[in-house]
Amino acid sequence: MATAGEIGAIVLTALWLFLPAFLANMAPVFVGGPPPIDGGRVWRDGRRILGDGKTWRGLFLGPLVASAIVLGLSVVPPSEAGRAAGLVGWGSAAETFVFAYVIGFGALVGDAVKSFFKRRSGRDRGARWPGFDQLDFVAGGLLFAAAASALWGLAGGNGAWFSERFTLERIVALVILTPGLHLLVNIVGYKLGKKDVPW
């Protein structure tokens, strides 16, 4: 059995490493805006392809906000407690910026893919789709990070970038904790008047 301290370290490190995805997923409510990615077009079922909630600005500027914040955070040296907890960073400044962007971008691609299927399931923009609304960006962020890491390896970089950081236990922690965190963030966004619905 893992001790409480060990579990705390896993959780803390997982949330820290995946911060680019959390930030990118939140940023579009501030930096997003028309035109929508689907250009207003409808699918053969008569419903929007993605809907007005998925915009080009959100997709490209969201990850930029995330990688800029993460780059800023990465220059702060870890505290003793953080070091003791095995808090690892995103690598060199270049790796930090690029991987944070890719993780954030993947997160929002996952979010948009979710919206495509959400529309096909007959749910309107902003409707609730428990599970999918919370884990879409986790799947997208992790997949893009893994793919970018493999490419980085082929280009002569550290191909183990992903596997060294996103261990199975950290991924499990993210999948378990994200739905709760997501709800919390959305309630805050709703209270700030940035979201129409508290989910």
Backbone phi, then psi, for 194, in 5-degree steps? -95, -15
Which of 12, 29, 146, 183 is in the footprint of ligand CTP by CB under 6 A?
29
Q: Position 5: which residue type? A: G
Is 182 in contact with 145 (CB distance < 8 Å)? no
Q: What is the DSSP track for 87-101? A: -----SHHHHHHHHH
Q: What is the C-alpha to C-alpha distance for residues 89 and 97, in angstroms, rounded to an integer?
A: 12
Can residue 125 be called a binding residue for ligand CTP (CB under 6 A)? yes
Question: What is the nearest approach in angstroms of ligand CTP to the Cβ of residue 17?
Answer: 22
Region near ligand CTP per CB under 6 A, out of 65-73, 99-107, 125-133, 150-158: 125-133
Q: What angle do CA 32, 47, 106 make, to 5 degrees?
A: 40
Region near ligand CTP per CB under 6 A, out of 13-21, 93-101, 122-130, 175-183: 122-130
The residue among 87 and 135 lying less far from ligand CTP, judged by its C-beta, is 135
Residues forming the site for ligand CTP (CB under 6 A): 28-29, 32, 51, 53-55, 58-59, 108, 111-112, 115, 118, 125-127
